[in-house]
Structure 1
Amino acid sequence: MQKLIVILLFFISSLAFAQTNQTFSNENKTYLPNIKTVLCYNSSKEQSIPVIMLNSAEKIILSFDDLLGGTKNYWYTIEHCTSDWQTSRISTTDYLDGFNDDRIIDYRYSSNTTRKYTHYQISLPNMQIQPKIGGNYILKVYLDSDKNKPVISQRFYILDSQVAVAAEITNPLQVSDRNARQKINFNINYSMSIANPYQEIKAIVMQNFDPNTAIVNTRPAFIKPNQLVYNDINTNDFFGNNEFRKFDTRSLRYKAGNVKDIYRDNQSVNVMLFQDAPRNTGAFGNQFDENGNFFIRNTDGRDDQTEAEYTDILFTLNATAPTANGEAYVVGRFNNYTLNKENQLIYDAGRKQFYANILLKQGLYDYEYAWVNRDTKTVETQPFEGAFFQTENSYQIFVYYHRPGARWETLVGYTNMTNKISEGR
């Protein structure tokens, strides 16, 4: 029965790749099914948050694979955005030095893999494209120098550091939430002139770099000399959720973490994970995770980027549907926590099981199950994963400044912290 499900799901996931008529959106998104494993991070640390300092030696790395192989004529550009990811109403000359776009010329072909692909990579800033102001940016990749043929849109950040952010993770004040939620309090310390913090300063708090969790702060609880305090009892409360589930496909010669079975045919490699159970009851179980991250690794070869195999991963969740109107998804940073058909689970009401088959490159992956409640229009992980204050999560705080008379918002402060450490700038 399980093999039949795998074959059916593999057929669905292997439909012919085709260009569709789409337009760019300012979100993390891939527009073609043949584009896989989009990575975007600060080059100083693999899979770090894609934030770099303005006018520094730091680089943003964007890479991806094209499963159609060969060589394509891919181009890219970047655009400045507002804090809520709307395109800024400014000219490219306001935020760019150099050219407006460029062709991707850094690519390599896969080797020793069942499924052939081409690996592409971009490094920013570069000699052609150089951002000159801080803020939110969207990187757009498109085919044949035609922006009407979108391939990838990816968010990244350039920090023009002007304020310091000090933050802490603490228990909520409401007694009923203390075992399930985590509260973020933070201060913005500044020396520049801020006439009206309510209009000029905006702070966005995010959990595990998941845009679905973003909370916008526009009103500090207290205004002190050279300091804005955000500690209102009703804001910046997050469900602690649970430690992420994970699996390990670094090698396909043996069955590593959470892998039940591996089998091959002439065209594909299939990996069946052990069946998952809900974790919304019982005590918190501590385990090490990467806060939703993933890392491409291939211990069977020498090059992670071009010798790692693509495998069809079968996820199985033994659970009933939490509500009558909704869908379940497998999410993590490997798909930017996106809720789409590719990572949606199929529900077998008779067996009370959810299934999904997702094509992923060899490596280490964190994942969790999310439920989209269509009645309340909310995305919830608690029905499958539970929620605990003890869970270790990372939190990102982005601070934006809209100078009076300016035509754009600047990212002036940023910190990335966990329950244990903080990496402020």
Structure 2
Amino acid sequence: MHKLIAILLFFIPSLLSAQTNSFTYENKIYQPNIKTVLCYNTSREQSLPVIQLNSAETITFSFNDLLGGTKNYWYSIEHCTSDWQPSRISTIDYLGSFNDDRMINYRYSSNTTRKYTHYEQTFPNSQIQPKIGGNYLLKIYLDGDKNQPVISQRFYIVDNQVAVTAEITNSMQVADRNSKQKVNFTINHSIPIPNPYQDLKAVVMQNFNSNTAKVNTRPFFVRPNQLVYNDLTTNDFWGDNEFRKFDTRSLRYKADNVKDIYRDSESVNVMLFQDVPRNTGAFANQFDENGNFFIKNTDGRDDRTEAEYMSVLFTLNAKAPSANGDAYVVGRFNNYTLGKENKLLYDASRKQFYASMMLKQGLYDYEYAWFNYDTKTLETFPFEGSFFQTENTYQIFVYYRRPGARWETLVGYANISNRVNDRR
């Protein structure tokens, strides 16, 4: 018995280490010194990381290391299922090139209070060449060792075989018509789809926020070369509210929503104006970037290496919506995830939430969300409200597994908006 206990004690730390030092199939940063991960279609800054298979389009990926210096970062990609699990197929099936490569494109920051090293990579390239469509996970790791994860990042490659048309309307449910939006869409195809209820899947999400994703497996109508998804009860999304925002593209003056800027020889501190809940009253229209953010420094020449890192103070004057929960600041800048960095502390005596986050100089959209531990739900309504008039973008991803195939292929994609003349 004692020998068995000794053996277990020997292996448990190794098992825990193995669990810790492994990639998860989500957008995640594993090292505290890594900041400002960007991943987008190179044709447009901060566009969605979606490219066409066998085209000239590329993905640009970058991040900053606040420890500075030069490290030996490597990267590889892995094909995934529509629900972001490993496809478990050989790299030979989805890569027509090498399995991994070293990141050699880096530059040091200049004229900044906080020193950092900027790493950047564009792919497909001569080393990494995907050859099938689908969901992909980009993995960044240290010293060529995948047991030392640094970043995991999702991106998409579309093998265009179907066309997707869509519209955004009010919810068909009477009680939700003033607060929700409904997405109806149609898949037009010329390829044979013998069993669309089993072989085809469509995922709809709002503002590229995976927390909002809805999976469609059953078309409402099946017509020759056409699948229609317009069931009265599906694809209803909370309209939410227009995103809050702040502008720190210049630190020489106080721009939009910036109350104060404090600088010294070691740090830059930005205090935002205090926010209040917007869940009551009428809808107020304002232009936003639908949760996006942009790294910009109008005081310098190079946004990548001359933009400052700032400690940004967020303050929300509001009561806690329930007794058992936490508030967070979310946006695309942190992939709408919940973590220690973006969790707000609550001062019950002042009825005030606050948090300080280190962010790179630029233009940011953000909102406040409440995670209720009793219901295990994340919702923005307690702080932001929800209105059907809100301008949002919706992404539709269509996956098809051919009979007998071993993986799902991303065969269609659409990005639509209820904003007039929005071409994003």
Q: Which runs of 5+ in 2 are unaligned?
A: 1-18
Paired residue type of 2:182: K
Q: How does 1:22-421 map to 2 (within 5 A)?
A: 22-419=21-418, 420=420
Mapped to 2, the partners of 1:144 and 1:297 lie a distance apart of 31
Across the aligned residues of Structure 1 and Structure 2, the Cα RMSD in angstroms comes to: 1.1
> Which SS does the other structure have where 1:131 is aligned?
coil
Q: List per-residue Cα deviations over 1:111-152 (Å, max 9, x = no partner).
A: 000000000001010000100000000000000101010000
Q: What's the offset of the Cα at 1:174?
A: 1.2
- Normalising by the residue count of structure 2, what TM-score does the alignment of the two structures yield? 0.94
Q: Secondary structure at the match of 1:384?
A: helix
Distance in 1 between residues matched to 2:312 and 2:89, nearest whole Å: 44
Give 3-state SS (helix, strand or coil) of 1:342's partner.
Answer: coil
Distance 1:206 1:108 in 2: 35
* TM-score under structure 1 length normalisation: 0.94
1:14 match: none
Instruction: Report if aligned partners of 2:173, 2:233 keep a CA contact under 8 Å in 1.
Output: no
Q: Distance in 1 between matches of 2:123 and 2:91?
A: 16
Q: Aligned-pair distance for 1:23?
A: 1.4
Matched to 2:229, the amino acid is Y
Cα deviations by residue, 1:68-88 (Å, 9 ceiling, x for unpaired):
000000000000000000000
Q: Distance in 2 between matches of 1:23 and 1:323?
A: 35
Aligned residue for 1:298, secondary structure, equals coil
Q: Is the 8 A contact 1:316 1:354 kept in 2?
A: yes
SS in 2 for 1:346: strand
Q: Which residue of 2 aligns with 1:6?
A: none
> Contact (CA 8 Å) 2:261, 2:269: kept in 1 or not?
yes
Structure 1 stretches lacking a partner, 5+ long: 1-19
d(CA) in 1 for partners of 2:218, 2:323: 38
Is the CA contact 1:318–1:352 (under 8 Å) kept in the aligned structure 2? yes
Local SS of the residue matching 1:212? strand
Secondary structure of the residue aligned to 2:211 is: helix
Q: Report if aligned partners of 2:209, 2:335 keep a CA contact under 8 Å in 1.
A: yes
Deviation at 1:423, TM superposition (A): 6.1
The answer as to whether partners of 1:42 and 1:50 remain within 8 angstroms in 2 is yes
Paired residue secondary structure (1:75): strand
Counterpart code for 1:276: D
Alpha carbons 1:415, 1:422 under 8 Å: kept = no
**8 Å CA contact retained: 2:39, 2:61:** yes
**1:39 and 1:99 mapped to 2: Cα distance?**
23
Q: Displacement of 1:172 after TM fit?
A: 1.0
- Distance in 2, matches of 1:220 and 1:78, equals 32
Please tell me the residue identity of whatever aligns with 2:341.
E
Q: Is the 8 A contact 2:206 2:392 kept in 1?
A: yes
How far apart in 1 are the matches of 2:337 and 2:414? Answer: 24
Query: Aligned partners of 2:113, 2:51: CA distance in 1, in Å?
Result: 36
CA–CA distance in structure 2, aligned partners of residues 89 and 209 of structure 1: 26
Could you tell me how far 1:265 is from its partner in structure 2? Answer: 2.3
Match of 2:5 in 1: none
What is the SS of the residue equivalent to 1:211?
Answer: strand
Which of structure 1's runs of 4+ aligned residues deviate more than 4 A? Answer: 421-424
Cα offsets for 1:319-342 (capped at 9, x unmatched): 011011111000000000011111
Contact 2:207/2:393 (<8 A) preserved: yes
**For 1:422 and 1:362, how far apart are their aligned partners in 2?**
26
Letter of the structure 2 residue corresponding to residue 44 of structure 1: S
Aligned length: 405
Deviation at 1:21, TM superposition (A): 4.4
Amino acid corresponding to residue 248 of structure 1 in structure 2: D
8 Å CA contact 1:21, 1:149 repeated in 2: no
Per the TM alignment, residue 266 of structure 1 is displaced from its structure 2 partner at its CA by 2.2
Q: Following the alignment from structure 2 to structure 1, what is the Cα–Cα distance between the partners of residues 24 and 130? A: 20
Contact 1:416-1:422 within 8 A present in 2 as well: no
The 3-state SS of whatever aligns with 2:23 is: coil
Equivalent position amino acid for 2:264 in 1: D
CA deviations 1:331-378 (Å, max 9, x no partner) are 000000011111000000110000010000000000000000111111
Q: CA deviation at 1:49?
A: 0.8
| Contact 1:396/1:416 (8 A) holds in 2 | yes
| 2: CA distance, partners of 1:214 / 1:135 | 17
Residue identity matched to 2:289:
E
